[in-house]
Amino acid sequence: MGAQQVRDGFVALYGAEPDGVWSAPGRVNLIGEHTDYNDGFVMPFALPHTTVAAVSRRTDGVLRLHSANVKDTAGTAGGVVELRLDALAPESDRNWTAYPAGVFWALREAGHPVTGADIHLASTVPTGAGLSSSAALEVVVALALNDLYELGLQRWQLARLCQRAENVYVGAPTGIMDQTAAACCTEGHALFLDTRDLSQRQIPFDLAAEGMRLLVVDTRVKHAHSDGEYGKRRAGCEKGAALLGVDALRDVPYDGLDAALARLGDEEEVRRLVRHVVTEDHRVERVVSLLESGDTRAIGPLLTEGHASLRDDFRISGPELDLVVDTALEAGALGARMTGGGFGGSAIVLAEAGDADAITKAVEAAFAAAGFTAPRTFEAVPAAGARRLV
């Protein structure tokens, strides 16, 4: 999405130049799923798909919002939504406007003097595809306000505020991965993030240089986090931590997993959740060490193992996601797994560059044969995190 185009859209709507233009990316998660609200490890990277915002300050307590992506029933561009900052209330808005409004709410709750804005947005991040369109929307607004109001907040602090906007204002109990990915990822790297203290390491991730490709397959099955299943998994993990007497499941060591499972006795559902989280944290650490030692192909089986764990223990996959993974592996992929929150959304496939097209075709054919909506596949190359464009 071009900065100029979004700037022009702003001028057409509001009749003046914006103070600036910012962007924030969607993400895929390479490995480390449903570990972030367990204080564990994740490894996302930014996509070239971005949400771009042209923004000007206002001083009268009014927030005006417009998105080029939102169409009204007649199919034309939707109107400008006008909100009063002093009337913002958690869980009062079920529309897309809750995300940017939630950022204002979270900043004001934290005592930051934001007094309004005119905002025009346009996004290429697919929605409902598990690629963090919500976090891109939150983070682009937070970064713009941080600059325009000279708040002096660091990237990780913006991520925390955006997570609060999503958890409390929007009402979706997500972890911190997506907002941190949008705020902190850098081009050419995957972000190894410890979600307990947000310490991070940028891991070089250049598959093309090693003759590989990473495909993202959007199954077109829409997922939604506020739907309840995500919250149930989160609550089950918290129950597991409480039963085991630890702050978070991250504190259960991998070599203490069997003992922990034994202590959980006949709590079968909690046992499965705990097993996933503890083995997944371990997989992230193994992927990091393989990448750092240059053994990139060897991460494939770990991705596939992660998928089996999400499917069988965490139980958040689905027929379409499983079909992508099974078909890709049969067609010669090095590894494949669902990515993101689950219950639909996208899968990732790691493949030798020369096999990627045949794998894409095999997945398309399998979807057609199963009567599923045609998936959308694109290659993911680690792109830049949130930044000011103009």
| CA geometry: angle 119, 125, 130, nearest 5 deg | 125
Q: Residue 308 belongs to what H/E stretch?
A: helix 300-308
Q: Is the CB of residue 340 less than 8 Å from the CB of residue 29?
A: yes
For residue 236, the 8-state DSSP code is: H
**Binding to ligand GLA, residues 237-256 (CB under 6 A):** none
User: Which amino acid makes up residue 277?
Assistant: V
| Shortest distance, position 163 Cβ to ligand GLA, whole Å | 8
Stretch that binds ligand GLA, among 10-18, 66-74, 170-178, 347-355 (CB under 6 A): 170-178
Q: Is the CB of residue 385 less than 8 Å from the CB of residue 46?
A: yes
- The only residue of 20, 26, 126, 175 in contact with ligand GLA, by rule CB under 6 A: 175
- The only residue of 9, 335, 341, 375 in contact with ligand GLA, by rule CB under 6 A: 341
Q: Is the CB of residue 335 less than 8 Å from the CB of residue 297?
A: no
Q: How far apart are CA 46 and CA 146, in angstroms?
A: 21
Nearest to 304 by CA among 3, 312, 12: 312
| Shortest distance, position 340 Cβ to ligand GLA, whole Å | 5
- The only residue of 50, 174, 327, 360 in contact with ligand GLA, by rule CB under 6 A: 174
- The only residue of 30, 158, 177, 207 in contact with ligand GLA, by rule CB under 6 A: 177
Stretch that binds ligand GLA, among 29-37, 59-67, 285-293, 379-387 (CB under 6 A): 29-37
* 93 in contact with ligand GLA (CB under 6 A): no
Task: Give the residue numbers marked as catalytic.
Answer: 178
For residue 156, the 8-state DSSP code is: H
How many residues bind ligand GLA (CB under 6 A)? The answer is 11
Q: CB nearer to ligand GLA: give 91 or 357.
A: 91
Q: How far apart are CA 24 and CA 141, in angstroms?
A: 9
| Chain residues that interact with ligand GLA, rule: CB under 6 A | 29, 33-34, 36-37, 174-175, 177-178, 340-341
